[in-house]
Chain A
Amino acid sequence: MMLFSLAFILLVLFYQRYLFKRKKEEESLVLKAVLEAEKKERFRLAADLHDGVSGDLNAIRIYLSLLMKNHPDDAKQEIYDDIKAGIEAALENTRAISYNLMPPAMETLGFYEAVKDYLQKLSIKGTIDFEVCCKQETVNIPEPIGYELFRVIQEFTTNILKYSTASSVLINMTQRANAFTMEIIDNGSPFIFMEELTVSRGIGLRNILGRLKVINATLSQEKLPNGNHFTITLKLQHD
Chain B
Amino acid sequence: MFFWIAVFANSLGIFPLIVLKTAKKRLLPEARFIGPYVWLIALGSAYELVGTLLLRINTTYWFHFYCFADFFCLNYFFYRLFERKYRTLNLAFSIVFVCVFIILMIGWSEISNLQSDAFLGTLSTLLVSTFAILWFRQLAHDTGTEHLWERPVFYLISGLFLYYSGTFFLFLMSDSITNNPRMELMDFWIINILLTLLLRILLILGIWKAKAK
Contacts and interface: CB of A to CB of B under 8 A. Distances in A.
B140 A2 contact: no
A1 B165 contact: yes
B162 A12 contact: no
Interface residues of A, number: 16
* Contact-residue size bin, chain B (C-beta under 8 Å from the other chain): 20 to 34
Contacts of B149: 13
Contact of A9 (B143, B158, B166): B158
B143 A19 contact: yes
Nearest to B147: A17
Contact of B140 (A5, A6, A16): A16
B165 to A, nearest CB: 4
Contacts of B136: 8-9, 12
A6 B165 CA distance: 9
A23 interface: yes
A4 interface: yes
Nearest to A6: B162
Contact of B162 (A5, A15, A19, A23): A5
Given A8-B133, A16-B139, A19-B140, A1 B168 contact: yes
A193 interface: no
Contacts of B162: 2, 5-6, 9
Nearest to B132: A5
A20 B140 contact: no
A12 B141 CA distance: 10
A37 to B, nearest CB: 24
Nearest to A21: B146
Contacts of B145: 16, 20
Interface of B: 129, 132-133, 136, 139-143, 145-149, 158, 161-162, 165-166, 168-169, 195
10 contacts: A1-B169, A2-B166, A5-B129, A8-B133, A12-B136, A13-B148, A16-B142, A16-B148, A17-B146, A19-B141
Top 5 closest A-B pairs, CB basis? A2-B166, A5-B165, A23-B143, A12-B136, A1-B165
